[in-house]
Structures are given as C-alpha cells and as structure tokens.
Chains A and B, each alone.
Chain A
Amino acid sequence: MKFKIYRYNPEQGGKPGLQDFEIAAVQPGMMLLEALLKCKDQDESLTFRRSCGEGVCGSDAVNINGVNGLACITPLADLKEPVVIRPLPGRPIIRDLVVDLSGFYQQYRTIKPYLTLYEPEPEVEILQSPEERDQLDGLYECILCACCSTACPSFWWNPEKFLGPAALLQAWRFIADSRDQATDERLAALEGPYRVFRCHTIMNCVDVCPKGLNPTQAIGRIKMRMLKQSL
C-alpha cells in the first residue's frame, strides 16, 4: 500500500514536503496507526504522537486524505491510495505530523471546564436522576483530540476569539450537568459576538468527530439558553 506523508523538520531547514512510503504486508483489519508505525520502522525520523491504539486517548489525530481522524481507528481498507497524511490543519507544525495544540488547550481552559459547587459538599454523592445524567451523554466522552476544532473554518479565521467546537461542547457539558452551580457565570462568559456566535453551523466538526459527538448541537443549545436567559 502506498502513502504520502508530510515531512517537516525545522532543524534541517529544508522545505516541507510529502515523502513516499510503501508497506508490503497489509493484513486485513489493519489500522492506519499500524501502517504509520511500519513507516517509522523504515525511517525512524518520521514523527507523530500515539499512545492507546484504540481511540480513547486522542493522541494520533491527523489529516487523512483531507479529512481529520484518529489513525488508530481508521481502517486501511477504507482509504484511497496513495493515502496522503498531513498534520491537523491550521495549527503551527512542530515536526512532521506533530502540531502545537497549546491554543486548543487554552480555549478549553477558558471555559472553566470543571464542576463548580458553591454549597457545602454532602458526605455522600450528590443525587442525580438517570434522566439528568443522560443529558451528559454525547458530551463527557470528548477525548480532546482536536479533530473538530482544526476542521472548523470559524476556528481557522478567529482562533483568538471563537472558542471552537471542542471547548464549546465542554462548556455545554457543564451547563447541562444538574450538579453544577455556576450556570449563570458560564452563560455570561460566553456573551459577545464571537465566542459562540461565530459558529455558522457548517457541521465540519460533527463530520470528523471520531467519537460521534455533536458539537454543533451543543452550540445550538448554548445559543438557545442564552436567548432564553436574555428574555
């Protein structure tokens, strides 16, 4: 199977470019990450992040034939040859497929992604009905892989002001949590023309999320809540 993989090493000064790789023994059911590891066997300077190998840690998000995804759960059988692999778009490239995600993490921190309680904590669990808990499904599973935000046009154009789908999904995760006591502050912090409202429901984020989450819907819900609040 043939691959074209983006290479860039700032130390070597050279221009970035695509390098050809070929892998002979492709077993049925093999995932792209295994292929990348075999390419690295051929040329150990090939650089990418990886850890769990099963789509739960969010390390190995890359751009695969133009679409963001996790290498470890992308079957080779689904890919058109030559498979072109590039780093996630729109982020500074550190080396090869490794991008600088500090801006992405900063946006996550901005929305205060932690349960906030003002009342004294009970000695046991805070009760939550199964229905209330269901509200968190489709939100808490985010693995911070950055596939969505780096596929979002509004995020490319306004990375300083628009929070991006991943951070907004988490913003909603805490607003939606029946236990959280900071809803008003959370909504107030999202005010303004940019932070939320730059989302034009282009849905790129939904298409690429490897966990099947729906940031667009979460953003819609935030907008609704803000509207209700302002009435």
Chain B
Amino acid sequence: MKLTSRKFDALIIGAGGGGLRAALQLAQGDASVAVVSKVFPTRSHTVAAQGGVNAALANVTEDNWHWHMFDTIKGSDYLGDQDAIEYMCRAASRVVYELEHSGVPFSRLESGKIYQRAFGGQSRNFGGEQATRTCAAADRTGHAILHSLYQQNIRAKTHFFDEYFAIDLIIDKQGYVLGAVVMEIESGEILVIEAKATLIATGGAGQIYRTTTNALINTGDGMAMALRANIPLQDMEFFQFHPTGIAGKGMLITEGVRGEGGYLVNADNERFMERYAPKAKDLASRDVVSRAISIEVREGRGCGPEKDHVMLKIDHLGSEVIKKRLPGIRDTSMTFLKIDPILNPIPVYPTAHYTMGGIPTNRYGQVVIPVRDTPEEAVPGLYAAGECACVSVHGANRLGGNSLLDILVFGRAAANHIIQFLAETRYHRPLEESCVEQALQRVARWDKKGSGESVNQIKDELKRVMEAHCGVFRVDDVLREGVKKVEALAIRLQDAVIKDHSKIFNTARIEAMELENLMDIAKATVVSAQARTESRGAHSRIDFTERDDKHWLKHSLYFIDGHLDYKPVRTKPITVESFPPKARIY
C-alpha cells in the first residue's frame, strides 16, 4: 500500500496550550511546523482551565520566583525535580508577559496591571503568609490563553491538521523518531507525517476515572504512544483529585473560588479545614484538602441525604465579586445544579483532575529514558511537553495554577531546543516502510467483524474499576485486585468489536483506539500505585501512612510489559541551594 506522506521540520501532536505555545516559538524560529489535533485547536481541554496561571509578578503582594520555587517543591512533596522547578519559576513572569502581549485579556487591577488572586499552597518568604500569585482572566483563564495562542498561530501561518488523530510514532531501527502516522478523521485516510523533530503535547488522561473534570477527549493518547514506542511512563501513581468537583457530576469549581474567600463546610456547618490545616485552611495543597473532604464524608459528616459530599460556600463574597471574578463557575453551577452560588452553597467532592505522571523529559523537553547505566538518555528527535509529560515540576502533587505555567514554559523550552536541533539536523532520515507497520495494524485490528463486546461496555467498567481501586485513599489488597481487574479488561478488549466499519468521520473507531490508550494508562497507574509502599502527595496509602524518603525519594518508571524501574529525583537546582525534604505542614 502506498501511503501519502508530508514532510515538515517539526511535528507537534496536540493543539492545547502546550502544543500551540511551542508552535508559535517554532514559527518565529522560521521552522516549518505541522500541528496535528484530533479536535479543532480551540476545543482542546486547556480551554476549560479556570483559575489562572502562577507567576511571581508581585502585582498584589510582595513576591519572587524563589518563594514560588519553594512552594512548588513543598507542594510536590519533594518529588519534583528542582532544576526544572527553578527553571519554570524563573521563566514564569516572562511567559505571562508574553501572553499578555499576544492578547490574553487578563483581568486588571486598579493600577492597570494584571490581576492576581490567591491560590492553594502559595506562600511568601518560604512558608510564611499567603501569597497572591495566580494571574487570571476572570475564571476563564484557559479559554483566554488558548484562544490567544491559536490567534497568534493564525498570524504566524502555522500549518494545522485539524481533526487528525495520531495513531503511533514512527521510529527507525536506530531509535530515531521520524514523525507519526495519523488519520484524517473526516476521510478515514491514513497520512504519514515525517519530521526531524516530533513534540508530543497531547494532554492528560482523566478519562481513566468515572467522575472527572477532564473532557471526553482526554484519553492519554500521547502517553500510550510513548509506551508502545518502549518509552516508560514516569510517576503514574500520582493522580490529582481536585477537592472541588461538582458532587456526582465532576465539573470543576476552581480553587480560585477559595482564593477569593470561599470555604468548605461539613454537615455540622463546621469550617473543617481549620482542623486539617490550621494555617492555610481552605488554601492548603490539593492533596491535603481532598483527603480532608474524604475523611469528613467517611466519618459521617457529609452533607445531603446520602451524606456523600461537603459544601463550598461563597455567598458571603457578595454578588459583585462573584459576577466579576467568578462568572464562569456561577454559570456552571446554575446550569448543572440550578444553584446560584450568590445565594446558596455548591455541593462538592474530590474529582479526578490531573495526571502528574507522564512521558519523562528533561528541562529542555527532550524525552529521556534509561539506557544501561545512564538514567536519562535523550531519545533522538522526540520531545514532550504539557500534561502528557513529566519533567517533573509537579512531583507527587501539583499546585493549582502551575499546570498552565508548565505547558507554556516547557512548550516554549522544547521549541527552543528543537530549533537548535534543527540547526544541526539538515535532512530527514530515510523512512522504511516497516516502521509504520505497527500503526497500520492498530487501525486494521478494528476492521474485525463478528460478535464481541462493545468498546463502551469495557470503557465503563474500566472507569469504575479505577475509581474503586485507585482513588484518593489506597491500600495493598484493593490495589492488587485493581491490577488484576484492569489486566482482565485488557484481555477482553482484544476481542471487542465495533459494528461501524465505515471510513468517513468514524468516531466509533477513534473511540476504540482511545480506549486502547486508556487501558495502558490505567494499568500504568494502578501498577505503579501498588508498588509504592509509602504515602507522598496525592498517593495516600492507608497501609503505609508515612512518607519514606529513605526508600522512596525516587521516580517510578513503568514499562509497557508491566515492569517497573526507578530513577533518582534531581534534588540539585540550577543556581540556588537545594531544598531538602521537610515535614509538610500547611
């Protein structure tokens, strides 16, 4: 079969904030760049981000990047790599100003400067008073950023492949990444995109859980593509549950609500966070707040007839603040709950939100894997950035407002490195047909006819299994059973069939391939979680309640065959002194 092929200097898979920021940088560096996205760019899930992006601009309270760095390391429960964190926090102000210049309609202070609000886990002076570090465009910051980046890419004449689904990476025998095999969804045709450098920016995998703030498209495709290319996934046991998803439904109510002065109460109308985090209270780190809510509910102090959630109160903020600063969550609450938060509290419960783990990279965005004695050797021609990557700035727990920052900083850094790489790489490497075989087989597998289980049935079960076996609190026997159940589902998936075998805009086939990806990610998550016998950040074990720095101050690496390996945390920053692990109190 002769395949159609296109050639670019660089290929970016994913048009969320990470992919678009990289594309912009590459276009400015005069590289020819193709951006592939399975949805029209502005439909990427970055659009849903609400609260804001962190940068120590000090527009409201005194601040500097070093304090931000400390907060991020503490937030990560010391699993974050300190060189990458220093890099990110130093770059933050610059990328936010760049965003502003590219058109982002940030809210404003009386001074005319960018509006900033308080968010969880932020402090002044290395653990002192609450800082005010999150730059916001009302509570639609992600929308504002994604649209502005897309707009600037229109100006830069970036080459977009909208509604193209990436199936697999192309790798030659020497281990060079040569691009990707993609499918045009509208026609069902396969296209080979050859590139000297490929950047994966495919976002998170929240769809492994039943109740999630993530969109239906967040199926971890890029992470699974990496796994299939024999690249391990790092720290997958660390999955963030956001404390305030709408109970039972999952839509996010931003932490910015608490940043503006909202707080949580239990059935006794008690402001219970004061017990769990006397100083930071409702603005403690997300893992801390999520655990507190789970405990309140477990101990019978939940609200509602089923006593299965807590309440988020903001009516005391007054209608003006709510309408001006939080119009989006007011809309969401009125649409999905018929509750106007100006008058009544919002029922909330911890909800699957963010994939801390992902494709291992260094701070230049290069994908790095262990090769013999070196723990981090770059895979030639392959980069990753954004939620699909693990650089790792979030470690065991991400701070709110740090992901938008991560995607921007490392999207940009990866592009800068690619520009350098392109300068040294004049020609495309020859592509042998055998390299695309795996991708073609993945598609052909779903041509199978006859009887079998449906994709949706298995997907539903997978999401329930993950929720029951790998949630906020974890314990060995439940995790072990979870591993077995996911493995059983993976075997059943091999015999599943789809009934729709047409070519044009066949979403059944796309969903089938997405489920294959989810399956691999779910397994990576639960296997890594079962193995880590300590509690750190978002990974809380009932049977191992303490952090164990002696044995576990290290990153997990999960391989496609199910085995695990580990590598050390980079505790040495670039220029400043290291922050050694300390007890984490908020």
Contacts and interface: CB of A to CB of B under 8 A. Distances in A.
Q: How extensive is the interface on chain B, given as a class?
A: 35 or more
A115 B106 contact: no
B97 interface: yes
Interface size class of A (residues with CB under 8 A): 35 or more
A53 interface: yes
B335 A52 contact: no
Contact of A45 (B152, B335, B499): B499
A51 B39 contact: yes
Interface string A170-185: 0000000101000000
Contacts of A133: 105-108
Interface stretch (B140-148, B224-232, B401-409, B525-533): B140-148
Nearest to B512: A44
B429 to A, nearest CB: 34
A51 B215 contact: yes
A187 interface: no
B502 A125 contact: no
Contacts of B504: 9-11, 94-95
Interface in B480-523: 498-500, 502-508
B108 A129 contact: yes
B144 A140 contact: yes
Nearest to B501: A45
Given A109-B154, A125-B100, A52 B499 contact: no
B505 A115 contact: no
Interface in A126-162: 126-130, 132-133, 136, 140-141, 143-144
B151 A114 contact: yes
A98 B155 CA distance: 27
Contacts of B336: 29, 31, 54
A56 B47 contact: yes
Contacts of B39: 49, 51, 57, 59
Contacts of A45: 499-500, 502, 508
B102 A115 contact: yes
Given A56-B47, A57-B48, A73 B335 contact: yes
Nearest to A121: B101
A59 B152 CA distance: 21
Interface stretch (B109-117, B304-312, B550-558, B577-585): B109-117
A144 B110 contact: no
Nearest to A31: B336
Q: Which of A49, A96, A124, A129 has the most CB of B within 10 A?
A: A124
Nearest to A113: B151
Contact of B100 (A9, A47, A73, A126): A126
Interface string A108-121: 01001111010001
Given A129-B110, A130-B109, 12 more contacts: A31-B336, A45-B502, A47-B505, A48-B507, A52-B45, A55-B335, A56-B143, A96-B505, A109-B154, A121-B101, A140-B144, A144-B42
Interface of A: 9-12, 29, 31, 41, 44-45, 47-59, 73, 94-96, 98, 101, 105, 109, 112-115, 117, 121, 123-130, 132-133, 136, 140-141, 143-144, 177, 179
